[in-house]
Amino acid sequence: MDSLLPFELVAKARDIVEKNRAAGRRVAVAESCTGGLVSAALTEVPGSSAVFEAGYVTYANEAKMSALGVSEDVLSTFGAVSVATAWAMARGALLRSGADVAVAITGIAGPDGGSAAKPVGTVVFARAERGHEDEAIIAGTKCFDPASGRSNIRLQAALCALELLEP
């Protein structure tokens, strides 16, 4: 299949679309550092409209607040790259869409923007499910090698996010 996206990303997205179609589930994605990469991968798959409900690219904090309902208190207390923010993003995507499950990704792809506490390559993931909106299955924080570069960090984050959409 012709694609602008890396083969491994499209292959994983195809697997996720097929599994969620079989399970009768619709999915949503709230993305920050991946900038829509997960949504693009899902929509690269023919027939993904049976599964993919919505994608929210909320790069700026203001967008996280207005589009997903992340509170200013969460952002100012914990920062954009935190479990609290990822959980709020996933919950917001779920509540604002008709999806059965939502995944959120927020992180620091670099090459700048990191700190000692949150170095470049730090990415946080969360998953929320319909019927359990006040609970989140937090996949946690991953630290990708900053030397691998911005594009690779974003690719690895997108692959991890897709894994969280497994039924």
pLDDT digits 0-9 by tens, 63-109: 999 999 999 999 999 999 999 999 999 999 999 999 999 999 999 99
With tokens 């869409």, the residue in question is: 97
Residues 21, 39, 78: CA angle, nearest 5 degrees: 115
The model's pLDDT over 8-30, given as tens digits with 9 standing for 90+, comes to 999 999 999 999 999 999 999 99
**Domains of the chain: which residue ranges?**
7-163
Sheet bearing 27-31, strands edge to edge: 52-57, 27-31, 101-107, 122-129, 137-143
For 46, 50, 96, 143, the CA distances from 125, given in Å and listed in that order, are 26, 24, 18, 11
137-142, Cβ contacts within 8 angstroms, sequence gap of 24 or more: 137/164, 138/83, 138/86, 138/87, 139/164, 140/83, 141/83
pLDDT of residue 136: 62
> Is residue 1 over pLDDT 60?
no
Which one-letter amino acid corresponds to residue 116? Answer: A
Contact criterion met (CB below 8 Å) for 48 and 19? no
Chosen CATH of 7-163 out of 3.90.700.10, 3.40.30.10, 3.90.950.20, 3.40.50.300 = 3.90.950.20
